[in-house]
Structure 1
Amino acid sequence: MNRKKIQAGHKLWQSSSEPFYRSFVKSLSDCKEVQEKMLLRIVQSNYDSEYGNLCNFREIDSVESFRKNVPLSSYSDYKPYIQRIMMGEKKLLTSEPVLLLEPSGGSTSASKLIPYTQALRQEFQSGIHPWLYDLYEYYPDISNGRMYWSISPSLMKQSFASQVPVGFDDDASYLGETARTVFPDISVTPDVHNALDMEQFREITMQSLTLEHDLSLISVWSPSFLRILFDWYLDKQKIRDKSFFAGIWSNLQVVSCWTCADSRLEADLLKEYLPHTEIQGKGLIATEAFVSLPFAGYEDPVLSICSHFFEFESEDGEILLANELDKGKTYSVIVTTGGGFYRYRVGDMVLVTGYAESTPLLRFIGKKSMVSDRRGEKLNAHHVAEVLEKVIGGRQCSFYMMAPDYDGDDLAYTVYVEGNNIFEMCIADQVESLLQHNPHYQYCSALGQVQRVRVFQITHDAVAAYEQRCIEKGQTPGDIKLMALSKYDGWSEYFKGDYV
């Protein structure tokens, strides 16, 4: 390993990130003004687009006139435009050309295609680079080794009839041009693009990583993706000690992954494999927008105010600006971006936990749209997560999830649990009691439309089975999140175990 060359590559990347970092730090104290300037820049840049003409962009000179002329939107509002973009039409949502269409992860709905322009790429850089610079400053030993940035295997490739390219080359493409320059020197890049299946993907990946004893950072999306990778290797090598990896990667400073909401349990389990490594939560990053970033000194991610224009919808439907949010309250995120999505409901819910000067700290708590509603019961994933956390959280359970289930025509919800002493926990009664606080569920239960909660004890390999079904549903392995509530039924056919 040429340590000087590696350190030089890290230094170049950190230096290229510094201007973004300085700008971000300076902006934290003036959230309102920074956001207003961001809005007007986006609007003025898209005067000549079809959508801009439709919404009178040339008449917009303030937040108030923007709200008056531009309605709140969802992906269905943009789908006709995106279909025309795929046919080669220009200046529809933005004045500048669409560079590519990026498929979303599709964790709660079918895959969407998100238009990426140069402006949107720059907006993502305005969130990524402050985080990177801060990471180097807080963990300087990262520069003494190579990094691993997840490249998700495309085992179920989708084809699109499009005159515009579809998809980034790999998961690291959003990191910017400097990253492309230095990556050959500072990153471990397993050649997995042609992997035929997950077995081959894991073999190639772990062969590369275990040879890299100076590995300094791992960046993946889902912590379960990494844990399954580790378990596969340990089983393959017949190694019983989970902390084996801490021994070969003594310089591993940080694992960056999801740590909030449904990913919290899996992130905690990673500490068994890497007890001396910091598990840093990622900010809220959607395919459509870069919402927040982790920042040293703050417990929760900071709103990425230099990336896009943000609005927030309160639980009672009031639309607020970033500087108008109250600590302790929950909001859903609305973004306006240089990619052509205006007042777009992302579908993510956040809790405001404090402030970095005048800029809010946001903790991701779940997807607003994730509701299971087979017979009018309207179970929300956020509420289900709270119920399962109260009943099962803190016990010796490595996996738990609830999903609709059928016994003939009878509908019930089943809690799937992997862990010990399930019989002693009275899970079904406790979960049923708490779900009854939802009036829709209570009503359906009283009418006999939904039967009482059941429990299915999983004997082993719960996460691997969960991942396999998600892949069959078309999800990319690196994007798979463990969910407290699944809208799919039939999980007993995938998990090993039986009903309690």
Structure 2
Amino acid sequence: MLNFFKKKAALVWAKKHVLKSGEFKKNSVKNQEALLLSLVKTAEKTLFGREHDFESIRSVKEFQDRVPVADYEDLKPYIERVKKGQANILWTETPEYFAKTSGTTSGSKYIPISKEGMPFQIAGAQSALFHYIAQKNNADFVNGKMIFLQGSPEMEEVFGIKTGRLSGIVAHHIPGYLQKNRLPSWNTNIMEDWEAKVEKIIEETEHENMTLISGIPPWLIMYFEKLTEKHGKKIKQLFPNLQLLVTGGVNYEPYRDKMNDLLGGKVDIIQTFPASEGFFAFQDDYTKEGLLLLTDHGIFYEFIPLEEYGKPEARRLTLKDVELNKDYALILSTNSGLWAYSIGDVVRFTGKDPYRILVSGRTKHFTSAFGEHVIAFEVEEAMKATVEKNAAQITEFHLAPQVNPTEGLPYHEWLIEFEKEPENLELFRSELDEQLRARNTYYDDLITGNILQQLHITPLKKNAFHEYAKSQGKLGGQNKTPRLANDRKIADLLEIYKL
């Protein structure tokens, strides 16, 4: 009886929430402009606000004129002052948390999360689940066990500010009605050794009624593979009531075929777009492409056309200016004190009513050794189409330029770990090249003009990416190997795993 009422309550809450959310979906442009001016007004007495004359800002244009686009290095001097416990620097108070992330040039990054910003991290995930329940008219999963993948919930303190990985911080804010159903245990979650942690998660979950599992696709695959190896069964045989996977962090599509094979039955998928800087979007309609952009969650968005990114005169567009199917660098101003901050993600719009986006790449993860500027969305779509045509399956791949081959013209090298190899690797290679040429005219011009030769494929041994990540101390959690590079640093390390 308790389970019936729990499910019924979830359905009622979900439908009320979705009805209420119609307001922001219809008024995103107007609300975004009002939100920016509200953020500026709140922060006008901060050090950053005084230095950039927030007090006189009355429009988006005036904000853009006064506040340049910044990356972490630009904001680091302010963040260092915040780390020493100083208030009124980027936001009116010291942050409630620092989300600690890995940086390539800055060492560890400390992303501030304010008392105003933290609730939106939780609300984004809740809204994703409510939209799912309302659209499917099904809340069965609330009565089963759930895994929320996370880093260790243990935190250190930096001058009194609690500091840890975002997923570990979020663990302290999971609603009470979900806590009883949540796995794994605290002692397992705080384990640092990722392989040992997965083994322990399996021990705690393999005989439970699992109904929802959340994590990035590489982690889900690792967990599912170990379960399958141990029991000799598909996941839906082990967990017949598994209803829902919640994923984020990377594009799910290249993993879909392998995931379906491991699952062995129908499981619904919610794709999300969370980050330490905010919870940006989630899949709200399972009949349409793209993720709903959350325009009322304390974040003002700007969009720089990717081809202009990094240039002095780059345009900073707002929602009213964006076009469909174009790539934009994502810029944020938040209620945690990030101002015109370049998060490093590239998005493209699939719809405007409401605004829906796809994550199409990273501003720093692309291949353009020859001016082609190939991005993640293009290679992932090319791979997806090629895999479907050749009845193959991949585990992971990495693309790097080969500028100085021992013979012949330069080329793109694709290092691929196959789950199921194509019957004819040469046909697969030719098809993949054609698919990429169809999606990137610059690459096509380089092939046609005999500047590049057709791409090369280097098949890798099973578990190659797993072993590579382990060797770099980046196994598990939210770590993921970049799929594109403009150099051969990763490619040269992967070469030792080739067949």
Residues 164-219 of structure 1, C-alpha deviation per residue, up to 9 Å, x if partnerless? 33215x72643774x24234312222332353633321221011111212x22111
Equivalences for residues 210-249 of structure 1 within 5 A? 210-213=206-209, 215-220=210-215, 222-237=216-231, 239=232, 241=233, 243=234, 245-249=235-239
C-alpha displacement at 1:236, in angstroms? 3.2
- Tell me how far 1:135 sits from its aligned partner: 2.9
> Paired residue for 2:303?
312
Match of residue 288, structure 1, among 277, 287, 291: 277
Contact 2:327–2:347 under 8 Å retained in 1: yes
CA distance in 2, matches of 1:33, 1:175: 34
Aligned pair 1:489/2:495, yes or no?
A: no
Of the structure 1 ranges 388-397 and 40-49, higher mean CA displacement relative to structure 2 is found in 388-397
The 1-side partners of 2:424 and 2:221 are apart by 27
Q: How does 1:303-342 map to 2 (within 5 A)?
A: 303-307=293-297, 308-315=299-306, 317-342=314-339
- Aligned to 2:31, what secondary structure does the other structure show? helix
CA contact (8 A) 1:432 1:452 kept: yes
AA at the equivalent of 1:369: K
Aligned equivalents of 2:208, 2:227: Cα separation in 1:
15
Report the counterpart of residue 25 of structure 2 in structure 1.
28
AA in 2 matched with 1:231: E
Counterparts of 1:258-269 in structure 2 under 5 Å? 258=248, 261=251, 263-269=252-258
Where structure 2 has 5 or more consecutive residues not aligned to the other structure, the ranges are 309-313
Residue type of the partner of 1:420? E
Q: Which residue of 1 aligns with 2:476?
A: 477
1:469 alignment partner AA = Y
Q: Which residue of 2 aligns with 1:425?
A: 426
Secondary structure of the structure 2 residue equivalent to 1:333: strand
CA distance in 2, matches of 1:416, 1:89: 47
CA deviation digits over 1:53-106, x for unaligned, max 9?
A: 111111122222222222222222111112222222222111122122112365
Superposition deviation, residue 266 in structure 1: 1.4
Report 1 or 2 for greater relative contact order, CA contacts < 8 Å, sequence distance ≥ 6.
1
Q: Conserved in 1, the CA contact under 8 Å of 2:217 and 2:250?
A: no
Query: Matched residues in 2 for 1:297 and 1:460: separation?
Result: 33
- What is aligned with 2:205? 209
- The question of 1:369 aligning with 2:359 is answered no
After superposition, residues 66-465 of structure 1 pair within 5 angstroms as 66-104=63-101, 111-137=108-134, 138=136, 139-152=138-151, 164-168=161-165, 171=167, 173-174=169-170, 177=173, 179-190=174-185, 191-195=187-191, 197-213=193-209, 215-220=210-215, 222-237=216-231, 239=232, 241=233, 243=234, 245-258=235-248, 261=251, 263-296=252-285, 299=288, 300-307=290-297, 308-315=299-306, 317-356=314-353, 359-372=354-367, 380-389=375-384, 391-392=386-387, 394-395=389-390, 396-404=392-400, 413-417=412-416, 418=418, 419-421=420-422, 423-426=424-427, 438=442, 442=446, 453-461=455-463, 465=464
- Cα–Cα, structure 1 residues 161 and 367, in superposed 2: closer, same or farther, change >3 Å? same
8 A Cα contact 1:160 1:166, kept in partner: yes
Cα deviation, residue 473, structure 1? 3.3
Please provide the CA RMSD for this pair: 3.8
DSSP-derived class of the 2:163 partner: coil
Residue deviations 1:253-298 (CA, integer Å, cap 9, x gap): 111114964x312133212233444342422222212221221465
| Equivalent AA in structure 1 for residue 254 of structure 2 | L
Structure 1 residue 158: deviation in Å?
A: 11
Q: TM-score under structure 2 normalisation?
A: 0.81
Asked if the contact 1:105/1:479 (under 8 Å) is kept, the reply is no
Once residues 163 and 441 of structure 1 are traced to their aligned partners in structure 2, the CA distance between those partners, rounded to angstroms, is 56
> Could you tell me which residue of structure 1 aligns to residue 311 of structure 2?
none
Specify the SS of the correspondent of 1:81. Answer: helix
Q: Distance in 2 between matches of 1:377 and 1:301?
A: 28
Instruction: Report if the CA contact (8 A) 1:254-1:277 is conserved.
Output: no
Q: 1:391 to 1:181 in 2, by over 3 A?
A: closer
Classify the secondary structure of the residue corresponding to 1:232.
helix
CA contact (8 A) 1:14 1:132 kept: no
Q: Which moved more, 1:326-335 or 1:413-422?
A: 413-422
What number of residue pairs does the alignment pair up? Answer: 475
Provide closer, same or farther for how the CA distance between residues 212 and 459 of structure 1 changes in structure 2, counting only shifts above 3 A: same
2:274 match: secondary structure: coil
TM-score (norm 1): 0.81
Residue 37 (structure 1) aligns with:
34
Change (3 A) 1:471 1:14: farther
| Code of the aligned partner of 1:54 | E
Question: Post-superposition shift, 1:249?
Answer: 1.9
Corresponding residue SS for 1:118: coil
Residue pair 1:20, 1:129 contacting (<8 A) in 2 also: no
Q: Provide the C-alpha distance between the structure 2 equivalents of 1:87 and 1:233, rounded to a whole number of angstroms.
A: 45
Q: 1:194 to 1:364 in 2, by over 3 A?
A: closer
Q: Which stretch of structure 1 is more off in the superposition, 203-212 or 65-74? A: 65-74
Instruction: Tell me the alpha carbon deviations over residues 31-69 of structure 1, each in whole angstroms, 9 at most, x when there is no partner.
Output: 122112211221122122110111111112222222222
Q: Is the 8 A contact 1:90 1:97 kept in 2?
A: yes
2: CA distance, partners of 1:8 / 1:336: 41
Shift of 1:302: 0.9
Separation in structure 2 between the aligned mates of residue 408 and residue 355 of structure 1, nearest angstrom: 44
Rounded Cα–Cα distance in structure 2 between residues aligned with 1:355 and 1:363? 12
The one-letter code matched in structure 2 to 1:227 is: I
- What does the per-residue CA deviation read over 1:326-350, in whole Å, with 9 as the maximum and x for residues that have no partner? 3333322211101111121222222
Change (3 A) 1:69 1:248: same
Shift of 1:323: 3.1
Distance 1:14 1:260, change over 3 A: same
- Give the SS at the match of 1:72: coil
Q: Distance in 2 between matches of 1:272 and 1:12?
A: 34
